[in-house]
Amino acid sequence: MDSQLLPVLLLLLLQASGPWGQGPGTEGPSAEPPKEEVSEEDGVLVLSRHTLSLALREHPALLVEFYAPWCGHCKALAPEYSKAAALLAAESAKTRLAKVDGPAEPELTKEFAVTEYPTLKFFRDGNRTHPEDYTGPREAKGIAEWLRRRMGSSATRLEDEEGTQALIDAQDVVVIGFFQDLQDEDVATFLALAQDAVDMTFGLTDQPQLFQTFGLTKDTVVLFKKFDEGRADFPVDEELGLDQEELSRFLLTHSMHLVTEFNSQTSPKIFAARILNHLLLFINQTLAPHQELLADFREAATPFRGQVLFVVVDVGADNNHVLQYFGLKAEEAPTLRFINTETTKKYTPAERGPVTAASVTAFCHAVLSGKFKPYLLSQEVPPDWDQRPVKTLVGKNFEQVAFDETKNVFIKFYAPWCTHSKEMAPAWEALAKKYRDHKDIIIAELDATANELEAFVVHAFPTLKYFPAGPGRKVIEYKSARDLETLSKFLDNGGKLSEEEPTKESLAPFLETPANSTSEPKEEL
């Protein structure tokens, strides 16, 4: 080789092999990707599996929402989430809000066991292994307050009567813990509860003069309110200490008005009160004779506090969904209805008499003692219920059709307002047309918001159930894909699928009636 070419070849080899001859240089195909930066959208950090660790290192307090682009509840939360981020930013708070597109980041959803959307998790001090589940409200102020109470004190320390009275006067409901020793375990229990109860203002004190001012001789949690009794005391058990669950139930019960008017603002609190029995008075607030009934209704409520929640529903307001749920028309007011929200059983007075304190009390006692039978809603059977490919069922003809021992009956239980029910309607109609000539197969549907069944309660829409022919009243719940091919395969195999997998599309949560609990709205993966 020409000796003049040797230095040139060595130089080329060194350039190709990178530093110290250990492989391709920084411009080669195996070069490390450029470091990703965390992006923002409306004040909310947008994270991926590559940037989550970076965000955890940079932010000591991080609330992360796992969402799905198709999730309706996520879309409803989005503007409130951004407002909460803006509120915290205006305070120069250390807490940041972030979000992760769950379907696009399966590794993260698996790591954090995300099974429904939206799911929110709170990370503190970069701890990736033990995030705290978010348990707060879904509106901006509530989100911000939930985070503030985790990063600071959840209760105001009170030293004198002037400051205590100022706190009491500032809000409709104020909770103050009077503890002789602020190092006691009961104080930690009190503060832990205060972290989550963001709709109430909390204070605490150990000052003897304040015990004296408010007539206390032992540790007590006092709820001050600007309505009804004005004050409710929860003495701390000297032997067992402060029970957080019992205190929570006490505060929820006594922070409610004796009589609560049902509307979009009060409904979440009504269902969060954990009182299963609700008595509803339906009136027209524009009519003076109807308004006069409220005094008697309130009088009857006092002895039932904590056992029965007394609720007023204005039939003249936007409460048609409540009327529909109880099978009522506005012109039937004034009238009473009783419901147990756990069993969803409804009760109506035996006779339509005047609404007085005595009649309301007697009705409550009768229902609670088991003397009344619940009633079931049912529409009338349409004359042409069996004329279309999809048969129309109601409460009054459900039993005879569904449990006909000579027929295999496939029923869709739906809600008229449910988007998932609407989306699968064409496939259900196509299925009915495909099997219309099979004498032993019936494809039917039932509006479960207008018809109730003694056999079972429908909690989600659409719910699909298969009732095979033969004795025994067997019922098989269908939980697979809702396309024509899979539905047909299910029928052809006698109510079975060889590899039945849950559908990716979730069942729409049944959250829009007074009978349902207020667990946070979410959609399954």
Is residue 47 within a helix (H) or strand (E), and if so which, with residue range? strand 44-47
Predicted pLDDT of residue 519? 40
Measure the CA–CA gap between 399 and 198, rounded to whole angstroms: 47
Domain boundaries along the sequence of the chain? 40-151, 156-255, 259-369, 391-493
pLDDT of residue 274: 80
Q: Is 270 helix (H, G, I), strand (E, B) or coil?
A: helix
Q: Contact, 414 vs 448, CB < 8 A?
A: yes
DSSP state of 141: H
Sign of CA dihedral 262, 265, 269, 271: positive
Amino acid identity at 440 = D
Check: CB of residue 216 under 8 Å from CB of residue 264: no
Q: What is the helix, strand, coil percentage profile of the chain, to 5? A: 35, 20, 45
pLDDT on residue 351: 84
> Cis omega before residue 334 (within 30°)?
yes
CB neighbour class for 143 (10 Å; exposed up to 12, middle 13-18, buried from 19): buried
CB contact at 8 A, 60 and 125 = yes
The pLDDT value recorded for residue 22 is 36
| φ and ψ of 414, to 5 deg | -130, 170
Burial of 125 (0-12, 13-18, 19+ CB in 10 A): exposed
CATH topology match: 40-151 vs 259-369: yes
Cα 221 from chain centre: 28
Which residues fall within 8 angstroms of residue 226, CB to CB, at 6 or more apart? 172, 173
Q: Is 508 helix (H, G, I), strand (E, B) or coil?
A: strand
Strands 408-414, 441-447: pairing is parallel
Measured between alpha carbons, how far is 74 from 97 in angstroms, rounded to an integer? 15
Q: What angle do CA 480, 481, 485 make, to 5 degrees?
A: 115
Instruction: Kindly list the distances between the CA atom of residue 67 and the CA atoms of 3, 5, 104, 120, in Å, as whole numbers in the listed order.
Output: 66, 62, 10, 9
**Mean model confidence pLDDT for the chain:** 87
Say what the pLDDT of residue 208 is. 97
Residue with tokens 């954090």: 112
**Structure-block tokens of residue 470:** 């033969």
The whole-number pLDDT of residue 506 equals 33
Cβ within 8 Å of residue 11, ≥6 positions away: none
pLDDT of residue 339: 95
In CATH, which of 3.40.30.10, 3.40.50.720, 3.40.50.2030, 3.10.25.10 is domain 40-151?
3.40.30.10
CA distance 268 to 262: 10
Q: What would the pLDDT profile of 299-326 be if each residue is shown by its tens digit? A: 999 999 989 999 999 998 989 889 988 9
Alpha helices in 327-410 (DSSP H): 357-368, 395-402
Structure tokens at 185: 């375990």
Give the amino acid at 13.
L
Kindly report, residue by residue over 260-288, the tens digit of the pLDDT: 999 988 888 888 778 999 999 999 999 99
Query: Cβ distance 494 to 43 under 8 Å?
Result: no
How far is it, in rounded angstroms, from Cα 277 to Cα 166? 36
Cα gap 287→439, rounded to integer Å: 56
Predicted pLDDT of residue 455: 85
In whole angstroms, give the CA distance from residue 433 to residue 163: 74
Would you say 200 and 208 are in contact if contact means Cβ atoms under 8 Å apart? Answer: no
Confidence at residue 47, expressed as pLDDT on a 0 to 100 scale: 96
Decide if 48 contacts 66 (C-beta within 8 A): no
Token pair recorded at residue 249 = 């139930």
First to last CA, the chain: 68
Catalytically annotated residues: 71-74
- Collapsing DSSP to helix, strand or coil, 234 comes out as strand
What residue ranges of the chain have pLDDT lower than 70? 1-35, 498-525
Q: How many residues are recorded in the chain?
A: 525
Angle between the 140-151 and 72-90 helix axes, to the nearest 10 degrees?
Answer: 50
CATH superfamily of 259-369: Glutaredoxin (3.40.30.10)
The token pair that represents 30 in the structure block: 């195996």
Question: Which class is domain 156-255?
Answer: alpha beta
CATH number of 391-493: 2.60.40.10, 3.40.50.10490, 3.40.30.10, 3.30.465.10?
Answer: 3.40.30.10
Nearest to 452, CA basis, from 318, 320, 347, 357: 347
